A = this chain, B = another copy of it.
Amino acid sequence: MERKPKNIFIQGAIPAEKITESVQKHATQTDIGAHAIFLGQVRADTKDEGVVTAIEYTAYEEMALEKVFDIREAVFAKYPVTCVHIYHSLGQVDAGEICFFVFTSAPHRREAIDACNEIVERIKAEVPVWGRELLGNDKHVWKKNT
């Protein structure tokens, strides 16, 4: 396996078309029996100072890509998965748009689902990305993960 971390970052929202495309690319891999997909969508949450209209993402990109690389390697070592694809937005993503896309494929459902969950949790906890929630009135709050 190549040691160079793959880029996961996409400028702006992740196009919904990417989901179908990702699935179609795996139709020739007939050892796959299951795909698990997680999508994060920007919520129009109500804050004290206003309603979230968009999130602006920034990252410590080099460290983030190294960290995602480690997570990928750990997941491939732990689960018999065939493929793992991870995308995260940078810059502005409007409410209702997709900002995070994790896609895992495996012969059987359990591995695909468990691997997908683990990637989602680890990326939220371990990858240096920050969301600034814009309130559409020049105000903003810094997103907090739970």
Contacts and interface: CB of A to CB of B under 8 A. Distances in A.
A56 interface: no
Given A36-B37, A38-B35, A41-B35, A24 B30 contact: no
A72 interface: no
A117 B113 contact: yes
A33 interface: yes
Contacts of A35: 37-39, 41
Given A109-B120, A117-B113, A41 B26 contact: yes
Contacts of A44: 30-31
Interface string A24-57: 1011111111111111111110000000000000
11 contacts: A18-B20, A23-B39, A26-B96, A27-B41, A29-B96, A30-B96, A33-B40, A34-B41, A35-B38, A36-B39, A37-B39
Given A20-B20, A34-B40, A38-B112, 6 more contacts: A16-B23, A16-B24, A18-B20, A19-B20, A36-B36, A41-B105
